[in-house]
Structure 1
């Protein structure tokens, strides 16, 4: 066939693929083809021509060199997941749409909310992910960023191998240190130096973070070697990486960073130095704060007297004090708060007559400065993670919901609770719920260790029961119910059995409330049983478990929950 010949469908070699696409888009009525075969309907003729053109285009491709075959997937040396647990994971991954719709949830567990807990437990046991479930696992992590850390830890090195072959899973490479590439160890000085000098920014941040955990001195030296040449935004990110393993040995470097040309870098350096109780900056702040806060002994009852700074001089600004307050805030109170926040909390006992933190917090503060002073102490306790001061500022759990000596909101109380050990945290929140119920406790429950300690779990169940018996509007407790499903110890299941019946509704109760409560408690019981089954499925076979100590043999088999 020569270059001008016509096919039996009427398509010529001169007719381009673009011409056919244009005719299809505009329609054959608006773009008729002059060489269409007679007697053939125009749309069908266009499709015939497109089919012929497609075959011609494919036949005209030149043979290409075969692409390089991908490297084999890396081996995962971790033990295989037990068969029952693998089946459970497949079920959880297949139920990704559960709970997405609105309306009543019914009594069935929300499997999507159990997936993060299952992944955390599988990672803790050290299992390898089943190869056939890796695509579904990566798809789930792609849609839910909260799943990614545990999902990628469980998926292991094969997740990175797959991510290099599928653009949809490239998030795994971004989440991995150095984009999935193995970082050199501190012993390989040449490779460390080369990556620091030539690597991408994300690789350099990952390298610095890895070195801070294993060789902090080497990490600091590496950062100091290029510090003057780094961009301000990069210096800020590198400085933030120094939070890991922060020690007094970092003080000279951070002191030099106080003179940085970037205000954000200076502020971050000052924050890190103030977290080091023995640093020179902390001592300077303590001297300034001591001038502003003193004990008034002239009255029968001792009180704290406050005289905020009259100015913010250049030395204060160098130490991280921001001179300009936010809108609506007075300058002097703004400066005072920053000085007290950066002062080591141990300073105040000597300054205020040898009193303990609880005694200091109980002292009256003159001239209306109490809220400002206590709020600054709260920020200091959070920054320095001081448990004694956190307990003092939290006050008794029976105090008003947004109260406490120093906390002005429940969010601040939650931050103070984070400085306590898990048992103290749970006991305090249990006391709060016993006094105030559950309506204000949601933020506080979120900082408690999982599974909830027995006293906390009992207080939550009792408060839910009280709310049900009082005819409370049931949907207002759906958030706490969701937390209970994920956080209650499965050992509490027996106590919930009595709550499954539909109670007699009070006249002033919300319509249908009794049925909702029974449904919600049924879902809670079912979920707890499911969590117990998941834990059993993930437990290693008895033949591979370490022998239990003799003194622990008397415990019931489910004592650990």
Structure 2
């Protein structure tokens, strides 16, 4: 069957005719004014080009769109040129796609970016404008980068985020100290943003105001509290953790009657962190009625009588009545009472004993784990270093848990209540006594760069593990931490560890080469970190 030729005509084809011919093919349809045959495709394209010009020439200009407001100024000093080039290299690097295994001796730039951002923020630098898109892309792909990246990006990050949907996360995670937010004295701007802003902007405003004027932030929240959605009330209430004080108690006490269970629980948690609050006093009475010292035996012993019911008053004060699956109700209620009771009340309740002596007492009827775990949570919530030290015990105590901590995770949380120096000293002692196999979680709570005693303890433990012929890949996590956290000043101590050691018969095959490669990469990374620090200081590298 042959196509029916379209007779030539002087009428110019319409755009719709050309589109139809292109879709059907010129062997089945030729547009008006064209002849069928081998030249039809070229004629169709020529006609389409001419029609395109005609259509464009006939278009009326649209209304000019409103120009966006210029990006806000960033008053911070710009990066030194070497540091700006380093930032471009760090942002251009991408995580490798290979699996676990040997990584070679080159530093992992992806893992150095968070540390670089922290250092740049400490110096108060602003990024080059051309780096902002890549910086926001990096933060979009890695949530752990967002706080530091958005702080470094500054007010222009929010300006860009409003123009690109892919960067909208910046509006949800805007840091409270953003320079574009009004200060405590700008009451008009505060009120307007609080009434009209996006949810993320309101959260950022409240956090920013709370850090500088806690009472004003609470008053702002109280002004609209009854009209806020439950999920929003929960987020807003959480911002009161910063600067929490006695003046917040009336508002939090009223929040105990909130219609949202999550809001009530958060209000109760905040009140229990105030040892002088009425809720803390109520919890002290309840918890104290459950724990006593029994002097009838040869050794004073703690005896526990857990609650038999969870009444309405306990529920109002934040005690969840329903226990999780696999957990007994009475132990569940007891843990919540002890966790919320002020730790300062226990010495008077238990015969004037210090926290060290209380923790050392035996506990009857297998209640020790439950009781000590609740005291651990209370010490973390109330930031009580004295109780944390008692529950941690000496670093040489059994590795899996001290006299009070039920796990290494509990120990890590308790360490967070101690000073930076004390924390590093305790973890160094733990590593010296137990090695590195259980220390990974504990190292994660230590300040960076690691203090000299801690750094030496880690390097020595790695060296001991290597000499012992240990399976090297099991230490890759600690080695990665060392690359990011070890003080670059310690690099000279690694020189003696770069040679490939002789492998014993019972050593893992290839272990010596892996250890040498890992130590070489560690040394290279430490030297690079030293250069990065010099670049941010503006010193020649």
TM-score of the aligned structures, taking structure 1 as reference length: 0.88
| Residues 173 and 180, structure 1, Cα contact 8 Å, conserved in 2 | no
| Residues 503 and 514, structure 1, Cα contact 8 Å, conserved in 2 | yes
| Residues 457 and 488, structure 1, Cα contact 8 Å, conserved in 2 | yes
**Partner of 2:148 in structure 1?**
150
Q: 1:181 to 1:430 in 2, by over 3 A?
A: closer
User: 2 CA distance for matches of 1:357 and 1:180?
Assistant: 42
Deviation at 1:195, TM superposition (A): 3.4
**Partner of 2:349 in structure 1?**
351
Q: Secondary structure at the match of 2:292?
A: strand
Q: Secondary structure at the match of 1:15?
A: helix
Q: Secondary structure at the match of 1:435?
A: helix
User: 2 CA distance for matches of 1:339 and 1:52?
Assistant: 83
**Partner of 2:276 in structure 1?**
278
Deviation at 1:379, TM superposition (A): 1.0
**Partner of 1:304 in structure 2?**
302
Deviation at 1:378, TM superposition (A): 0.9
Q: Deviations over 1:506-539 (max 9, x none)?
A: 1222221111111111100011111111111211
Q: Does 1:12 align with 2:47?
A: no
**Partner of 1:556 in structure 2?**
none
**Partner of 1:409 in structure 2?**
407
**Partner of 1:33 in structure 2?**
29
| Residues 434 and 463, structure 1, Cα contact 8 Å, conserved in 2 | yes
Q: Deviations over 1:72-128 (max 9, x none)?
A: 44443322322222222222223x125443342100111111111112111111222
Q: Secondary structure at the match of 1:536?
A: helix
| Residues 151 and 178, structure 2, Cα contact 8 Å, conserved in 1 | no
User: 2 CA distance for matches of 1:78 and 1:327?
Assistant: 53
Q: Deviations over 1:470-520 (max 9, x none)?
A: 112211111111110000011111110000011111122222111111111
Alignment match of 1:334 (pick from 332, 335, 338)? 332
Q: Secondary structure at the match of 2:293?
A: strand
Q: Secondary structure at the match of 1:305?
A: strand
Q: Secondary structure at the match of 1:477?
A: helix
Q: 1:316 to 1:52 in 2, by over 3 A?
A: same
Q: Secondary structure at the match of 1:304?
A: strand
Give the 5 Å matches for 1:207-218: 207-218=205-216
**Partner of 2:376 in structure 1?**
378
**Partner of 1:557 in structure 2?**
none
Q: 1:178 to 1:367 in 2, by over 3 A?
A: closer
Q: Secondary structure at the match of 1:439?
A: coil
Q: Deviations over 1:42-72 (max 9, x none)?
A: 7666655655554444334222344444544
User: 2 CA distance for matches of 1:476 and 1:365?
Assistant: 37
| Residues 371 and 406, structure 1, Cα contact 8 Å, conserved in 2 | yes
Q: 1:413 to 1:471 in 2, by over 3 A?
A: same
User: 2 CA distance for matches of 1:193 and 1:239?
Assistant: 18
Q: 1:107 to 1:255 in 2, by over 3 A?
A: same
Q: Which moved more, 1:480-489 or 1:430-439?
A: 430-439
Deviation at 1:41, TM superposition (A): 7.0
User: 1 CA distance for matches of 2:102 and 2:198?
Assistant: 49
**Partner of 1:258 in structure 2?**
256
Deviation at 1:237, TM superposition (A): 1.7
Q: Secondary structure at the match of 1:138?
A: helix
Q: Deviations over 1:192-241 (max 9, x none)?
A: 33433343333332332222222222222232233222222222222112
**Partner of 1:553 in structure 2?**
none
Q: Which moved more, 1:174-183 or 1:296-305?
A: 174-183
**Partner of 2:98 in structure 1?**
101
| Residues 493 and 525, structure 1, Cα contact 8 Å, conserved in 2 | yes
Q: Secondary structure at the match of 2:16?
A: coil
TM-score of the aligned structures, taking structure 2 as reference length: 0.91
**Partner of 2:3 in structure 1?**
none
Q: 1:498 to 1:323 in 2, by over 3 A?
A: same
Give the 5 Å matches for 1:316-465: 316-465=314-463
Unaligned stretches of 5+ residues in structure 1: 543-561
Q: 1:404 to 1:54 in 2, by over 3 A?
A: farther
Q: 1:388 to 1:20 in 2, by over 3 A?
A: farther
How many residues matched? 532
| Residues 6 and 13, structure 1, Cα contact 8 Å, conserved in 2 | no
Q: Secondary structure at the match of 1:107?
A: coil
Q: Secondary structure at the match of 2:289?
A: helix
Q: 1:5 to 1:201 in 2, by over 3 A?
A: farther
User: 1 CA distance for matches of 2:36 and 2:119?
Assistant: 71
**Partner of 1:558 in structure 2?**
none
Give the 5 Å matches for 1:128-147: 128-147=126-145
How large is the Cα RMSD of the aligned pairs?
Answer: 2.8
Give the 5 Å matches for 1:195-274: 195-274=193-272
Q: Which moved more, 1:425-434 or 1:362-371?
A: 425-434
Deviation at 1:541, TM superposition (A): 5.8
Unaligned stretches of 5+ residues in structure 2: 1-5
